[in-house]
Amino acid sequence: KKAIVIGSGLGGLLTAAQLAKDGWNVDVYERLALIGGRFANIEYNGYQLSTGALHMVPHGTDGPLARMLRALGADFEIVQSTPMATVRMPKNAEETDYKNGYEDISYLDFKKHLTSKNKLMMVLLTLGFKAGIIRPTKVGFKTWYSKYIHDDRIDRCADSFTGWALSTTADEVTTREVFKIFNNVYTYGGPGILKGGCQTVIDELVRILSSYGGTIHTKSEVTKIVVKDGKATGVVVGGKEISADLVISDIGHKEAWEICEIDGVEGESASHVLALSSPVFKEYEDKLAEMKPSAGLKICFASDEQILPDGCSLMLTPYTRRINGLNEVTIADPNLAPPGKHLIMCHQRTALDKLDEIDEEIELGLEDVKDLFPDKNVEILMVQVHHGRWPVNRAFSGTDFGNKTPIPNLIVVGDGAKGEGGIEIEGITFGVRDALKIIKN
Ligand code: FAD
């Protein structure tokens, strides 16, 4: 049986490698010359920068991605961040920035800085959550906890965590999604950095795919998904139709839907015809219209000195103007920078309505770097804005609607089809696992 995968991002390659291992004849078509999508390294002056990810695996060495990679036979190493994170707090509790000094604390010590009442409330909420007494709701996380706790420190830390992990504010993500994420942290553990960066995983997946006979065609954009009699029958690449029994989209629901040619009718008019003819398609189109991508901005810089404590590669920065957090990836793997240099990757959530004023957002991020590290010799290496078709997430965490499309053998994987509770690539792994189950049944 033949499967075609559109896109060589992490979701596409994980699915392709597993299908090839299961005996499918697999062809991956990638629009760019580069393989790996937003999970590939970019070499710059001896620094391993990236096309997207901060080289971080959210649940580390025992998380869903690591487990799936091991089951596939991949060779890779993840260095856990210990403790999970450092939080940079202003030196004096009443201050709202770092200008008069700061204190770096382990995230475990965060509670010590709260009032006794809020400390007690946090303990009660955590116990209630663990015991299953607190029922997660679809209301925004901040709206929910604000019913119980009022503390500027908690608000800032919540925004810093969700901004860094999901590229949303703490109120743009539902309480239900945050609870599922916390549950996964309890189950699998915290983050780690990939030795060699994202590229090691991509290279391994390419190796595994080829070892089972699969092929990746680069510079090969899929311009149409051909649908006949209600089924995907193949794709069009370079004007040529290629038939398949199964089509996997690693380019998101919306993008795949836009290029469907249904019984000879293309693009918007095709979906319009279907939407009118069946409530299933109408419902799908309505869901697509609601799906919102999350945008973000990444600043990579080099330092002559190590910034974070030994072993801890992640810092949350709740008192900046924009930067939510950063990974000092060379703590885990010094080879990600030239000898004697340290590589730091900062991330800031970017509101969709600020994309028109992106220069100002960049300036605010760069000001943050100066305030965070006033006494360090910092060299800015690269600033990247992620939005549109190269976003941080194709759908806000917890809002996508899984792998299925109204066309039975057109399945979506990747960050537009993660399901609930999975941070970034861990969510992609959950989505791939679910997609493979759908395919097997
Ligand atoms: P993509 O990587 O987008 O791959 C899709 C591929 O399809 C691309 O290569 C594209 O060129 C190709 N394509 C598109 N259209 C076509 C077409 N018509 N025909 C053929 N090919 C096509 N996650 C983490 O877990 N840890 C992190 O540290 C982390 N940090 C991040 C930081 C930033 C700034 C960003 C942007 C993302 C980050 N993420 C992180 C998220 C993670 O990078 C993405 O979730 C993941 O890489 C997305 O993989 P994907 O398979 O969904 O799709």
Average pLDDT over residues 202-208: 98
Q: Quick check: CB of 8 below 6 Å from ligand 1?
A: yes
Average pLDDT over residues 196-213: 98
Q: Residue 173's pLDDT is what?
A: 95
Pick the CATH number of 294-386 from 3.40.430.10, 3.30.230.70, 3.30.1340.10, 3.90.660.50: 3.90.660.50
Q: Residue 272's pLDDT is what?
A: 62
Token match 């005996």: residue? 23
Digit-coded pLDDT (tens) for 285-301: 889 999 999 999 999 99
Residue 418 has pLDDT above 70, yes or no: yes
Average pLDDT over residues 329-337: 98
Among 119-128, 271-280, 315-324, 385-394, whose mean pLDDT is lowest? 271-280
Q: How far is CA 78 from CA 59, 60, 151, 346, 403, in A?
A: 10, 6, 35, 20, 28
CA angle, residues 4, 71, 419, in degrees to nearest 5: 60
Q: Residue 110's pLDDT is what?
A: 79
Q: Quick check: CB of 181 below 6 Å from ligand 1?
A: no
| Comma-separated ranges of CATH 3.90.660.50 domains in the chain | 294-386
Q: Which CATH superfamily is domain 2-77+198-291+399-440 in?
A: FAD/NAD(P)-binding domain (3.50.50.60)
Q: Which amino acid is at 162?
A: T
Digit-coded pLDDT (tens) for 21-65: 999 999 999 999 999 999 999 999 999 999 999 999 999 999 999
Band of pLDDT at residue 111, cut at 50, 70 and 90: confident
Whether omega for the bond prior to residue 406 falls within 30 degrees of 0, making it cis, is no
Q: For a substitution probing ligand 1, which of 38, 181, 297, 323 has the most ligand atoms within 8 Å of its CB?
A: 38
Band of pLDDT at residue 132, cut at 50, 70 and 90: confident
Q: Quick check: CB of 406 below 6 Å from ligand 1?
A: no
Q: Residue 271's pLDDT is what?
A: 67
Whole-number average pLDDT of the chain: 93
What percentage of the chain reaches a pLDDT higher than 90?
80
Average pLDDT over residues 175-189: 93
Q: Quick check: CB of 425 below 6 Å from ligand 1?
A: yes
Q: For a substitution probing ligand 1, which of 394, 396, 410, 424 has the most ligand atoms within 8 Å of its CB?
A: 424
Among 259-273, 308-322, 361-375, 413-427, whose mean pLDDT is lowest? 259-273
Digit-coded pLDDT (tens) for 233-270: 999 999 999 999 999 999 999 999 999 988 877 766 77
Q: Which atom of ligand 1 is nearest to the CA of 54?
A: 28
Q: Which of 342, 332, 337 lies closest to 307 in space, CA to CA?
A: 342
User: For the chain, how many helices (H) and strands (E)?
Assistant: 12, 22
Strand partners, 345: 300, 327
Q: What is the dihedral of CA 95, 101, 102, 103, to 10 degrees?
A: -120
Is residue 16 helix, strand or coil? helix
Task: Please determine, for the modelled complex, whether the ipTM score is greater than 0.85.
Answer: yes
Q: Quick check: CB of 32 below 6 Å from ligand 1?
A: yes
Q: Residue 138's pLDDT is what?
A: 85
| Comma-separated ranges of CATH 3.50.50.60 domains in the chain | 2-77+198-291+399-440
Q: Which of 419, 428, 427 lies closest to 401 in space, CA to CA?
A: 419
Is residue 186 helix, strand or coil? helix
SS3 letters across 235-269? EEECCEEEECCEEEECCCHHHHHHCEEECCEEHHH
Q: Quick check: CB of 250 below 6 Å from ligand 1?
A: yes
Among 101-110, 159-168, 412-421, whose mean pLDDT is lowest? 101-110
